[in-house]
Amino acid sequence: MSSLFDLTGRRALITGSSQGIGYALARGLSEAGAEIVLNGRDAEKLTDAAETLRADGATVHELAFDATDHAAVRAAVDRFEAETGAIDILINNAGMQHRSTLEDFPADAFERLLQTNVASVFHVGQAVARHMIGRGAGKIINIASVQTALARPGIAPYTATKGAVANLTKGMATDWARHGLQCNAIAPGYFETPLNAALVADPEFTNWLEKRTPAGRWGKVEELVGAAVFLSGPSSSFVNGHTLFVDGGITASL
């Protein structure tokens, strides 16, 4: 049974993995046996994260590129595949947030959200899938959000982008399942991350969240690892186009 969750011999690229959810998933997949490819735009932060993982025994590569730049993504992925080897698992985790009332939401911030949260999933997904298709196998996991299913004030464009991620995931599965790829999404609820630092520091919001969430608390990033390992390994060989909510029950309860 343990072989269903064993990632030994697999190589995983995680975008936006120098901190937060991406870093936690990189550590978790490494502990499950995978070789890790960290990605981010800040090469110095990437090196710091890689060194920390290596100190714990992980095999780690650093691949700095801007996930919103189609040409840069394609060049970086193609070069890595040619010089280092196959990317067996892709986790599209790069993302950003911007909070503002919808009537005052800046147009440039809306465009940045589209590029970072949606276009990057297309750019990196396509670049990696081209190689996976040739091998007849691959795992793609896109990081969606509780906002894939729910909205709250001040983040309407973010909500739109995460809804798009879930539908793009379905499209990837529809096009690529016949080539041996499994394409799924993980939708985290409210987790303590740098992206949510302002909310974590707000006692009023935390009080609301604890009452609104059946589990009664913020999530811990390590609690996303099990879902990621499941969707990365043999255990999910017939799971495709699915969005797995890891949210303490918030989408199940009124």
Q: Which amino acid is at 53?
A: L
* Contact between residue 131 and residue 180 where contact means Cβ atoms under 8 Å apart: no
Whether 23 is catalytic = no
- ∠ CA(157), CA(159), CA(160), 5° rounding? 65
Say which of 105, 110, 122, 158 is annotated catalytic.
Answer: 158
Please say whether the dihedral angle defined by the alpha carbons of residues 40, 32, 35 and 148, taken in this order, is positive or negative. Answer: negative
Of 224, 207, 205, the residue nearest 91 (C-alpha):
224
Active site residues: 158
